[in-house]
A and B are shown apart, each in its own frame.
Chain A
């Protein structure tokens, strides 16, 4: 096991209202083994808008919540007041904005502002949540991104995450501000946003397209595995300036992801439509890879004109392999992901059901 430094008395979290943000806060409030050395001291959380506050407090009633724009220096000054020796987990960012210029403003500008304020506040370590999108797609289904990879950003979001990651790593300054990057791929698990709910709904309805052969692979990360990775990145000694892939133990073939979601939904009492297309996986339908390529082209075109369309973007990525190798993360951080696809998807489905989020008709006719 790598050496763990002293836990910080204060943790400052940006992007607190997001998927990871709330999972992290939940782990603060109710730590489990799977979360690793998640800090249990005080936590200060930055919400992007007042609407997020309820969700944040639901996850962690004891959090001190601030509201404001992550690029606003005044907001950050208050957020970092008395934060000497604290740990910052910087998870604020936009993934699916309406306009492409939001990527640079929030993902790059916000990161720069946070680095600056953290430094002047005397923060000990900053953990930055980056993304696979900074590295593009794998050239073959069996290829894996290694710990060291050239940035090859996938469109606007990827470019902003690459720029932000580069700045964070360059800002590492031992003795003053240490920086560590975690790179999660596609999330799943409780606290999911509407777009993931849409994914479940489409799978249940047999309308989720599996592009091409379905052999393309995806690394995914259950949010609690990501919490463990980020917690380790905040604590392990001598990893400043480095970056770590944080994902489930193995990448999953796309067809397996869709099939697992369909099976879990059926298990959990939802009606799952069988797709009518021949050769289709249960809960999904095969679509020629051409469709994804068309979507990708259109996405590129729109983004070049400053516009962003979420569905198109997601569709354009669907025939690609995006998979990483976590060996280095295991070795250096002692990371051991505990949640696996089926169990994790089940948790997500139950989380939705508990909150009355409709996914599909119930098999027993109940609502």
Chain B
């Protein structure tokens, strides 16, 4: 391989925005992606097969702690955008102001970011649903309406397709644009480390060989980016990992609600940003897994019971933080997360409110996803079922990972307000790691706008 103007590590939303903008500016760009390329639609969405082919470690990654938090990272061309739900939110002015204040970030107010949000929305064709809510969403909307709680059917980067909506993933949009503008994509190639010497990066090391480049932009996601920097000898603590700890509930209704190929896009935002309630992927295999682990007897039930079952979640903004540490000799970093007492209280409250809502929506029985959980059928069961979710029994997960390399001018920060690594002149980070905190909304839209803002600065050369 020859020398490049820019090597981008990772082809997720952050990397794809970076690659496209650099290629369009006429730079020679190489995108190095560890995962394989899977055409959108080639494997069923939200399926176990997708987990095997498009997720890191088949989706079985865990942040150690009490309780542990299972998290998922995509590993494929397009990164998380290929597998995710496609839900889009604009960040609020308050959120960006708080980040600007707490991390001394330059030019990160809503007016600074707004033009880039517009660019992202246009390219991804972000749009609301036309027509009726599907049953799993309608149940949430009905519950919220009955309780007087605010919610919305969240816009998506999905266009109506034959059958199911077509998500505007990176391979369909930004990554395709990048390739069209001349960028190269190397899939199945893992960057083991960066070649850093005397405050400059010379290139990336793949399978023992260095690919040289004028600049390197790391966009490997909030867990892999800090780990890669650590492996490359850049001093990075890996602290600050922020997620949205999430607890789930399987709900059963009298009527069919489950559309295995899609998920509920409605979110209850009455308690936002602290707490969001919504719907999860509910493939029969996932439901079977959830139920069999918890001893919900399916024996003697109609075989198609899953059609009446749907998984819902309560996700919180967490005060706890995690840490990413790469360990010499091991491929994957060790990830830990410390859930605070307040986090656990908020999760219990979220779980109770979610169950209250689902009962109001007409669910006939509920099974919360923690070890030894009781089945909930009436309002009186809600309190004991929420209270019984202790640290030792909780089974939490998160799909939103941020915070490991927060942008800003704070002393001791690894990167500046634009994602540039302070100690290495020609090295940048441009992905979800930069978000100083888990935002309380689905993060991809926000991180893409910030990635646009950063790469614009990089290209103008005043970064």
Report A's interface with B, CB cutoff 8 A: 136-140, 142-143, 146-153, 162, 166, 328
Closest to A148 in B: B147
Is B271 interfacial (CB-CB < 8 Å)?
yes
Give Cα A136 to B149, complex, Å.
19
Could you say which residues of chain B place their CB within 8 Å of the CB of A137? 345
Give Cα A151 to B275, complex, Å.
18
- Find the residue from B275, B345, B382 having the highest chain A CB count within 10 A: B345
Contacting pair B356 A148 (CB below 8 A): yes
Contact of B353 among A140, A150, A162, A328 (CB under 8 A): A150
Contacting pair B383 A147 (CB below 8 A): no
Contacting pair A147 B148 (CB below 8 A): yes
Give Cα A139 to B353, complex, Å.
12
Is B342 interfacial (CB-CB < 8 Å)?
yes
What is the interface size of chain B, counting residues whose CB is below 8 A from a CB of the partner? 25
Is B424 interfacial (CB-CB < 8 Å)?
no
Contacts A146-B148, A328-B148; is A151 near B346 (CB within 8 Å)?
A: no
Could you say which residues of chain A place their CB within 8 Å of the CB of B148? 146-148, 328
Is B355 interfacial (CB-CB < 8 Å)?
yes
Contacting pair B271 A151 (CB below 8 A): no
Could you say which residues of chain B place their CB within 8 Å of the CB of A153? 383
Question: Please, could you name 6 A-B residue pairs with CB atoms under 8 Å apart, sorted by A?
Answer: A139-B345, A139-B348, A148-B147, A148-B360, A149-B356, A152-B387
Min C-beta distance of B48 to chain A, whole Å: 33
Contact of A143 among B146, B149, B349 (CB under 8 A): B349
Contacts A151-B379, A151-B383; is A139 near B349 (CB within 8 Å)?
A: yes
3 closest A-B pairs by beta carbon, nearest first, are: A150-B356, A148-B147, A139-B349
Give Cα A142 to B440, complex, Å.
15
Give Cα A162 to B149, complex, Å.
21
Closest to A327 in B: B148
Is B286 interfacial (CB-CB < 8 Å)?
no
Give Cα A338 to B279, complex, Å.
42
Min C-beta distance of B273 to chain A, whole Å: 10
Min C-beta distance of B230 to chain A, whole Å: 33
Report B's interface with A, CB cutoff 8 A: 146-149, 270-271, 274-275, 342, 345-346, 348-350, 352-353, 355-356, 360, 379-380, 382-383, 386-387
Contacting pair A140 B383 (CB below 8 A): no
Min C-beta distance of A243 to chain B, whole Å: 12
Contacting pair A140 B360 (CB below 8 A): no
Closest to A159 in B: B383
Min C-beta distance of A172 to chain B, whole Å: 15
Min C-beta distance of A276 to chain B, whole Å: 29
Give Cα A136 to B271, complex, Å.
17
Contacts A140-B346, A152-B352, A152-B386; is A146 near B270 (CB within 8 Å)?
A: yes
Contacting pair B383 A150 (CB below 8 A): yes
Could you say which residues of chain B place their CB within 8 Å of the CB of A140? 274, 342, 346
Min C-beta distance of A162 to chain B, whole Å: 8
Min C-beta distance of A119 to chain B, whole Å: 23
Min C-beta distance of B126 to chain A, whole Å: 29
Give Cα A146 to B360, complex, Å.
15
Contacting pair A151 B147 (CB below 8 A): no
Could you say which residues of chain B place their CB within 8 Å of the CB of A147? 147-148
Give Cα A358 to B360, complex, Å.
51
Min C-beta distance of B390 to chain A, whole Å: 14
Could you say which residues of chain A place their CB within 8 Å of the CB of B386? 150, 152
Contacts A146-B147, A149-B353, A151-B382; is A139 near B346 (CB within 8 Å)?
A: yes
